[in-house]
Amino acid sequence: MSGAKTKLLAVDLDGTLVDSAPDIAHCLGVALEAVGFDTPGEARTRIWIGDGLETLIARALAAADERRSGTPSPPSERATGERQAEALAAFLACYRHNLFRRSRLYPGAEVTLDALLARGVRLCCITNKRIAFSESLLEQAGVRDRFELVLGGDSLAEKKPSPLPLVTAAEALGVEPASATLVGDSHQDLRSARAAGFGFVLAAYGYGKVDAAELGSSPRIERLAQLETLID
């Protein structure tokens, strides 16, 4: 942490606030089946989450191609052509009805958010998930009202790891970046926070992998409730 009092806490969504992998994996399976592949399963899906939906599907298709061919190969042109579009359409049709059916808030989420709000910490949600899905997911999870602002991966011209979403949130809410912190589970979150001048807390229980050397002195939490003692 920077040592400055945290006035604004930006919270990542997938893998930080909500364990959304079960629903994402279900719909990714539907998407791959729509273009003639087997479902990849939840364990593999968790590894691919974090860079937005198009990248998730591209990774899944590339892996499916590799498994089918039996040899490592880069993503084929088909993975970014008609097949990509068909898989994306199938995912979207599924996911809009499966945002919070299998997914759950991480333990202690509501209590932790409420405790921080009671101490005067302002909250926003910054995610690479599409804004329409993000808003609906937060509503269905029962926590949308805790956040003054929600920015999705398609809300602005750039998404994390760009600093733009964090800088935009800080400006919109009238908070200096030095008084703001992002909690997230991926290197995209870390790099976005560093570039924006935010503090950073790693949600180590999430989907992403952050190298210890890159994390440096930034703190890590093994459960969301630990935020209460980290955020001053």
Q: Domain holding 225: CATH number?
A: 3.40.50.1000
Residues 123 and 14 in one domain: yes
pLDDT in tens, 82-104: 899 999 999 999 999 999 999 99
Beta pairing class for 122-126 and 8-11: parallel
Is 12 one of the catalytic residues?
Answer: yes
- What pLDDT, on the 0 to 100 scale, is given for residue 2? 46
On whether residue 226 sits in a domain, the answer given is yes
Domain limits at 187?
8-20+101-230
Encoded tokens for 138: 């937060």
User: pLDDT tens, 186-198?
Assistant: 999 999 999 999 9
Q: Is-contact 3 217, C-beta < 8 A?
A: no
DSSP single-letter state for residue 100: S
Residues 6+ apart with CB under 8 A from 3: none
Do 45 and 105 share a domain, yes or no?
no
Please give the Cα distance from 145 to 140 (Å, whole number): 11
Of 12, 14, 65, 185, the catalytic one is 12
The domain boundary residue, chosen from 95, 127, 155: 95
**d(Cα 27, Cα 91) in Å, to the nearest integer?**
5
**Looking at residue 217, what is its pLDDT?**
94
Do 77 and 185 fall into the same domain?
no
Per-chain mean pLDDT for the chain: 92
Same domain, 73 and 184: no
- Position 93 scores a pLDDT of 97
Question: What is the predicted pLDDT for the residue at 94?
Answer: 98
Give yes or no: residues 142 and 224 share one domain. Answer: yes
Region 134-156: mean pLDDT is 97
**Per-residue pLDDT, 160:** 96
C-alpha distances (whole Å) from 49 to each of 158, 168, 173, 209 are: 18, 24, 28, 11
> For residue 71, what pLDDT is reported?
53
